[in-house]
Amino acid sequence: MTPAIPSLPAGATDCHFHIFDARFPTAAGRQARASATVADYLSFHDGLGLARGVVVAPSTYGHSNECLFESMERFGSRDFRAVAMPPVDLKTLDWEGWHARGVRGLRLYTGHADFPDPVGLQELGSRAAEFGWHLQMVGEQAREPFAEMVDVLAKLACSIVFDHFGFAPQPDAARSVTASALHRLLDLGRTYVKLSGMYIQSRRLDNDCDDFDEMAIDLVRRAPGRLLWGSDWPHTLAATKPDGHRLLQRLEYWVPALAARHAILVDNPASLYWAA
């Protein structure tokens, strides 16, 4: 039986999903993904009663954003934004052109060899701030890089977004060094954490990944104005694909207060993706 859909506020936003299309070549060394088209996503999106969305470039296509940009064109008049992969040569990044196409952030993988050094990260953050963009950080499953980088990240001129609870490890995510780094950065007022992708680090895949309940509830208590929700559709790293309704039910459990849930689903995304 399909779970009941929680009541969503007007303007509710999915801040993290991907599109995969076999017409676009997979980057060397990357795993091809099953087709997950714009039409497929819109069926999911509309079925949940969502209003806005943020499509995020996956690592599947390397530094190419062709699939991302075509997806944005296919969304047409719908209210969507994008987070892109930066080009290999950052000097070639067309900031004005990408902004006009809906890009509001750049996705950086700490585990990739081309992750910027501290000086490069500061320069990229300064440029991103000029356009009202953010840098979206992707952590690692086997180590906790953000604890090592916290001093550098704290000095960035732009906003920072951490994917998927910052990849905080279980079984003690809420007390991990990653959680401590996130707390410090959240206190600075320019950091956001995505309540998404719990299955990446969860050890409770058979029970709604409820080992992330403690960390989620603590983040909501600390900084409801700095949190975002994302479905992570089509859930490429999930052994068992979660139901979108259950994901929203989990959010409702973490965030019982209507005002805080409105902030996470509507106000925070509006400030981050639609202000510029």
> What number is the average pLDDT over the span 1-26?
87
CA neighbor of 43 nearest in space, from 198, 196, 261, 233: 233
pLDDT of 5 higher than 80: no
- State both tokens at 263: 């902030």
pLDDT tens for residues 92-124? 999 999 999 999 999 999 999 999 999 999 999
H helix intervals, 158-275: 177-186, 213-222, 244-254, 258-262, 268-273
pTM here is 0.96
CA neighbor of 58 nearest in space, from 50, 66, 46: 66
CA neighbor of 19 nearest in space, from 58, 64, 74, 77: 58
Domains of the chain: 13-273 (3.20.20.140)
**pLDDT band at residue 3, thresholds of 50, 70 and 90?**
low
Cα–Cα distance, 100 to 53 (Å, whole number): 17
pLDDT tens for residues 128-168? 999 999 999 999 999 999 999 999 999 999 999 999 999 99
pLDDT tens for residues 213-227? 999 999 999 999 999
pLDDT of 1 higher than 90: no
| The predicted structure's pLDDT at residue 208 | 84
**pLDDT band at residue 205, thresholds of 50, 70 and 90?**
confident
Q: Check if the beta carbon of residue 90 is closer than 8 Å to that of residue 126.
A: no
| The predicted structure's pLDDT at residue 47 | 95
| The predicted structure's pLDDT at residue 4 | 63
Q: Check if the beta carbon of residue 12 is closer than 8 Å to that of residue 265.
A: yes
